Homo-oligomer: A and B are copies of this chain.
Amino acid sequence: MNYLSINDINSLHDWVQEAITIKKDPLKDHTLGKDKSIGLLFFNSSLRTRLSTQKAALNLGLNPIVMNFSNEGWALEFEDGTIMDQGKSEHVKEAAQVISQYCDIIAIRAFALLEDKEKDQAEEVLLNFKKYASVPIVNMESSVGHPLQALADAITLAEYNQKKSPKVVLSWAPHPKALPHAVANSFVQMMQLQDAEFVITHPEGYELDPEITKNSKIEYNQEEAFKNADFIYVKNWSSFSDYGQVISKDKNWMIDQPKMNLTNNAKFMHCLPVRRNVIVADEVLDGENSLVIEQANNRTYAAQLVLKKILENE
């Protein structure tokens, strides 16, 4: 069993309920991972993912082995058939097979570089590891998705939702740098598995991959989208069509209290890290409707659920 994308969840409802059960007694399965180890391979920075996945592993008695590929290992080649006479010292074919012999599970974080759409869409790092590894692979954020985040978000929604079909809005917000689409993609895919009125709002030109958004409603007027919303989930991403470009930094898209006042006293969500007073005003982030800290807390239980399922499947 792998956990590569939201598509690996066979029943979101059941997974969320099981994660909530784990949260009530996180040490219940503390011998499940005994004498096993998980390799956490980081090709990019990480705080929540780094720490929550280690915490989840420890709760299961699984030994975490952390490796920062960028400065601790060798630069990896991913192309087939290349003559490796340049900067890359090792091919992913060997790396993935070899690490599979040292670790019982491999978790990988490798962001989109936003330079080559085709490569990013192919999830070069994640899927090559999956192709050549002989152990389960966990996605700790790939170029296309961040399914551990979206699973934590689903847990948080379940904990705070009080309706049969809440209105949930995914809103773009401005950011000084070009960011990947992974978090937004997985959130969209997760919402498509939920009973909810789901709306995506962003400036024109910021449409996410249509193969991800499918029939999800897009509303270009942010204020219109916010009306009667129960949950506002905010995230910046760069353009997908004009790939990796920042085509707007429109400050009017920042989330502030007047905008939140348009909602049905909505809860505010963000995956963190968040830039204060750029993405969201202090007043909202520090307000009582902000769920961001609880979302981060649920990262542990999302990861622990995934690792538990993998360990039970072995």
Shortest Cβ distance from residue A36 to the other chain B in the assembled complex, whole angstroms: 9
- Asked whether any CB of chain B lies closer than 8 Å to the CB of A103, the reply is yes
- Asked whether any CB of chain B lies closer than 8 Å to the CB of A269, the reply is no
Which residue from B272, B286, B297 sits with its C-beta under 8 Å from A90?
Answer: B272
- Asked whether any CB of chain B lies closer than 8 Å to the CB of A252, the reply is no
- Asked whether any CB of chain B lies closer than 8 Å to the CB of A95, the reply is yes
Classify chain A's interface size.
Answer: 35 or more
- Asked whether any CB of chain B lies closer than 8 Å to the CB of A82, the reply is yes
> Which A26-49 residues sit within 8 Å CB-CB of chain B?
27, 30, 35, 37, 39, 42, 45-48
Q: Are B84 and A277 in contact (CB under 8 A)?
A: yes
Q: Are B275 and A72 in contact (CB under 8 A)?
A: no
Q: A42-B72, A58-B63 are in contact. Are A98 and B47 (CB under 8 A)?
A: yes
Shortest Cβ distance from residue A273 to the other chain B in the assembled complex, whole angstroms: 3
- Asked whether any CB of chain B lies closer than 8 Å to the CB of A160, the reply is no
Shortest Cβ distance from residue A210 to the other chain B in the assembled complex, whole angstroms: 29
Which residue from B47, B59, B73, B101 sits with its C-beta under 8 Å from A74?
Answer: B47
CB-CB < 8 A to A261: which residues of B? Answer: none
- Asked whether any CB of chain B lies closer than 8 Å to the CB of A212, the reply is no
Which 7 residue pairs of A and B lie closest in terms of their CB atoms, listed nearest first? A90-B273, A84-B275, A51-B102, A98-B296, A83-B277, A101-B297, A47-B73
Can you add 12 more A-B contacts, CB < 8 Å, to A86-B176, A98-B293?
Answer: A45-B74, A51-B67, A55-B102, A84-B275, A84-B277, A84-B278, A85-B278, A89-B275, A94-B274, A94-B293, A98-B296, A102-B300
Binding site for B on A (CB under 8 A): 27, 30, 35, 37, 39, 42, 45-48, 50-52, 54-55, 58-59, 63, 65, 67-68, 71-74, 77, 81-86, 88-91, 93-95, 97-99, 101-103, 176, 272-278, 282, 286, 292-293, 296-297, 300
